[in-house]
Structure 1
Amino acid sequence: MSIIGLVIIGAAAGFLATRLMRIEADIPTTMFIGIMGALIGGLVLRLLVSVMGAMSGFVGAVLGAMLLIWLWQRYRR
């Protein structure tokens, strides 16, 4: 999946990840979390995309965004 595709998926993944992790964030922060999570998760899980299809890219994006939220909450204090 291209970087542009990861950015687009990341915006949606950030929204979903913030809801799953039950945090309140403004729209730019949500998009940033999602895009960075998509880049992290998408690049790490690129192998799954080739094996299992495009849906795994979305799963990777959500997992990457959730990881980024967890790190953000843990080290923000």
Structure 2
Amino acid sequence: MPLVALLIIGVAVGFLATRILKVNMDTPSTIALGVLGALIGTLVLRGLVMLAGIGAGFVGALLGALILIWAWKSLVR
């Protein structure tokens, strides 16, 4: 199913990209360009989301540690 979705999105994106950039290409090249662009875009976006998730986990861990240390200092005094 994801492969079919990638093909459909790739065809649409290839068509839109050639129209936006005003490039005249034959249909198979437009489809191939769109599918390859969709594949590359998907991989790049997933990588960026993964990095953002790692960063959010780091910030969450830091905040948790800060709250725990503050609570420990408050209870010990």
- TM-score scaled by structure 2? 0.54
Moved over 4 A (4+): none
- What residue is the counterpart of 1:26 in the other structure? 26
Q: Which residues of structure 1 form unaligned runs of 5+?
A: 48-77
Contact 1:7/1:39 (<8 A) preserved = no
Aligned identity (percent) is: 52
Give the counterpart letter for 2:44 in structure 1: V
Pairwise CA RMSD: 2.1
Count of aligned residue pairs for this structure pair = 48
Shift of 1:4: 3.1
CA distance in 2, matches of 1:4, 1:45: 19
| Alignment of structure 1 residues 2-21 onto 2, 5 Å | 2-21=2-21
- Corresponding residue of 2:45: 45
Larger radius of gyration: 2
